[in-house]
Amino acid sequence: EVQLVESGGGLVQAGGSLRLSCAASGFTFDDFAIGWFRQAPGKLREAVSCIASSYGYTYYADSVKGRVTISSDNAKNTVYLQMDSLKPEDTAVYYCAADLSRTCSPILYDYWGQGTQVTVSS
């Protein structure tokens, strides 16, 4: 059974930082791309960042470039999303997801976690 569990969300002030974690199990971690996506109320789900370290693939959305770093600890089957200089518009539920494709489109991802809330106050 594929399982993805997010953690690390919370309430922070603008300019603050959070590190999100995605713990994966039930599949061969190294074969998959892992993505972080977010969805705010009333808005479409959008990509934030994706990684497939075994294939040298990373992606960052323009809206977060320079403020976000994605990393993978393959020994722990865990992907991290370090977020700095957070803005109110970063407020959303953040999901991690896994797929065999090396893309960062939410349409193409098959396996999803339950999400973790990130709220950035002004």
Residue of 23, 49, 27, 28 whose CA lies nearest to 104? 49
Mean pLDDT of 84-96: 98
User: What is the tens place of the pLDDT at every residue in 17-49?
Assistant: 999 999 999 988 888 999 999 999 999 999 999
Q: How far apart are CA 107 and CA 84, in angstroms?
A: 27
pLDDT surpasses 90 at 1: no
Q: How far apart are CA 94 and CA 113, in angstroms?
A: 9
Mean pLDDT of 76-103: 96
